A and B are shown apart, each in its own frame.
Chain A
Amino acid sequence: MEYNKENEELINNDIQDTSNDKVLNKKDLNKMVWRSLLLQSSFNYERMQGGGWTYSIIPGLKKIHKNKKDLSNALQDHMQFFNTHPFLITFIQGVILAMEENKEKRETIRGIKVALMGPLGGIGDALFWLTLLPITGGIAASLSSEGNVAGPLLFLIAFNIVHFGLRFFLMHYGYGMGTKAISMLKEGTKKVSRAASIVGLTVVGALVASYINLRLDWTIQAGEIPVDIQGEVIDAIMPGLLPLLYTVFCYWLLKKGKSPLALIGMTIVVGLAGSLLGIM
């Protein structure tokens, strides 16, 4: 019960200190670029980068939210599930910090954050893991294979010029863009937060279908015929059915007042049981 009460507060919170002066300077933003290097420092399967994301913007949040209740609300909000490409995170930092600074509604900030993280994850994979890394690695490998020490040096220099260049550029670009977007959307914060929630929920729906890996590896003999439960039964009813059901079940348990820790325990039991029975 306790748990849900806290969250009701988080949903309906009003910002107590609404002064929206510009408090962040270039130095603050650069500091948070360095912090972004620890985005995955508390990576886990439940929230993924949530903890590291919060860590990365703490100096900004502290400067923006002088009111302790506001700071606490912001921190709790940012501790939620977060996952994106680690090189593009500074763009989201910039946008979100501009919004926090302007004391936008929590609902709007949340929606925009979720809406940005999903697509940037996919774009980052394509740009860096599938393009930058193979190119720099491939060129370096051809040098190294002749015993040339320039291979690894060139690799590190080329890779990190792009890497760190983007990190710093995207932070300031994101912050500038966030500031501009806010001034454009001044009218009707309610409508803006509704729009942000629509995009956010659409992306969350997509994430539920793509991020949760819950499939049965279970074949039963129906007479002579082997039936693949996942492929021939569950997927035929609806692909992604199990991830959806499990998420809804967890949601329902949270509403019932169960703690997330209990849900983690339950999930570990499910995983171990599925593994022992050989059906997962």
Chain B
Amino acid sequence: MLMEALLIGLWAGIAGIDQFNGLTHIHRPIVTGAIIGLILGDLKLGLMAGATLELVWAGMVPLAGAQPPNVVIGGVIGTAFAILTNQDPAVAVGVAVPFAVAAQAIITLIFTGFSPLMHKMDEHAKQANTDGIDRLNYLQPILLFAFFFIIAFLPIFFGAEQAANIVNMLPEWLINGLSVAGGIMPAIGFAMLLNIMFKWVYAPFFAIGFVAVAYGNLPILAIAIVGVAIAAYDYFNQNNTKLKVAGHSNVSIDDEEDYSDGI
């Protein structure tokens, strides 16, 4: 089983990278099922399991940064156990759930842990050291590969039950706490952005954008259109104001024109 477990781990690692980088979608169950089928010597069953699991995950998509149960681990482990235990894939995917959850927890850890790294990148940016930025940007895919490899390897090699015990050793309060912290962290990113962009004259527009979502639940596109409308109004109004000021400083005839404009 070692060889198969290693190959499955290898594929999970590659697919884990593809889920966030590259996005060629070789990480979807429809592809992963076939590959796992090939590794375990039953392509046909792999294809069928992949099809079932693809539909299971069809509705679970990453929207606005929120991550559903991990599709890579679900697809890989689900297919592997469907073939190994000769079960219906829709049932076998149940075996994959603790590992899909563990994978999501580790992704949360990585995404939280990479926040401080941004400040190392900032330093490189300050020095105009582009190679430094490049290097740091290659780090996370390597980590993702390693973690996905381990999480997929464990249940295949040690069996689902024992591997689940290992995976469940991750303390829940820690994972939950970090995921709560991760949810709040964009606030720091926005604060830094505001630190650069914010001027009191722009405060009303910030308020409009905020209220439109908080109270109005408008999509961002709608708000951007409102923003463009305000900006356009402001842009052309500035022109008018300037013309008027120029008009006043000239002769009184322009005043009359101003009135007629007003009516």
Q: Report B103 CB to chain A, min CB distance, Å.
A: 15
DSSP majority for the B interface? Answer: helix
Give the one of B139, B206, B224, B226 with max A CB within 10 A. B224
Bound form: Cα–Cα A261–B123 in Å: 13
B238 at the interface (CB under 8 A from A): yes
Find B183's partner among A79, A214, A255, A259 (CB 8 Å cutoff).
A214
* Contact (Cβ within 8 A) B116 A149: no
Q: Which chain B residues border A75 with CB–CB below 8 Å?
A: 124-126, 128, 130, 133
CB-nearest residue of chain B to A217: B180
* Contact (Cβ within 8 A) B180 A51: no
| Interface residues, chain B, with chain A CB atoms under 8 Å away | 20-26, 28, 30-31, 33-34, 43-44, 47-48, 50-52, 54-55, 58, 61-65, 111-119, 121-122, 124-128, 130, 133-134, 136-141, 173-174, 176-199, 202-203, 205-215, 218-221, 223-224, 226-228, 230-232, 234-235, 238
* Contact (Cβ within 8 A) B50 A152: yes
Give the one of B28, B139, B185 with max A CB within 10 A. B185
Q: Which chain A residues border B48 with CB–CB below 8 Å?
A: 144-145, 147
Q: Which chain A residues border B23 with CB–CB below 8 Å?
A: 37, 86-87, 163
* Contact (Cβ within 8 A) A264 B209: no
Give the one of A130, A144, A255 with max B CB within 10 A. A144
Bound form: Cα–Cα A144–B190 in Å: 45
* Contact (Cβ within 8 A) B181 A271: yes
* Contact (Cβ within 8 A) A44 B114: yes
Bound form: Cα–Cα A42–B110 in Å: 9
| Interface residues, chain A, with chain B CB atoms under 8 Å away | 4, 6-7, 10-11, 37-48, 50-52, 54-55, 58, 61-62, 68-69, 71-72, 75-81, 83, 86-87, 107, 110-111, 114-115, 118-119, 121-123, 125, 129-130, 133-134, 137-138, 140-145, 147-149, 151-152, 155-156, 159-160, 163, 191, 194-214, 238-240, 243-244, 246-248, 250-251, 253-255, 259-261, 263-264, 267-268, 270-276, 280
Q: Report B176 CB to chain A, min CB distance, Å.
A: 4
Q: Which chain A residues border B184 with CB–CB below 8 Å?
A: 212-214, 243, 246, 267, 270-271
Q: Which chain B residues border A45 with CB–CB below 8 Å?
A: 111-112, 115, 181-183, 185-186, 189
* Contact (Cβ within 8 A) B122 A251: no
Q: Which chain B residues border A68 with CB–CB below 8 Å?
A: 128
Find A210's partner among B25, B43, B64, B138 (CB 8 Å cutoff).
B64
Bound form: Cα–Cα A208–B194 in Å: 11
CB-nearest residue of chain B to A52: B137
Given contacts A75-B130, A79-B125, A201-B205, A149 and B34 within 8 Å (CB-CB): yes
Given contacts A129-B61, A198-B205, A151 and B126 within 8 Å (CB-CB): no
Q: List, sorted by A's number, 28 A–B pairs whose CB atoms are closer than 8 Å.
A: A6-B126, A38-B137, A42-B139, A45-B111, A47-B118, A72-B125, A72-B126, A81-B193, A114-B193, A140-B51, A141-B52, A141-B55, A144-B54, A145-B47, A145-B51, A152-B33, A163-B24, A194-B231, A202-B208, A202-B223, A209-B209, A209-B213, A210-B220, A250-B187, A254-B191, A255-B195, A271-B177, A274-B180
Find B202's partner among A80, A148, A159, A201 (CB 8 Å cutoff).
A201
* Contact (Cβ within 8 A) A268 B137: no
Given contacts A75-B130, A254-B192, A48 and B65 within 8 Å (CB-CB): yes
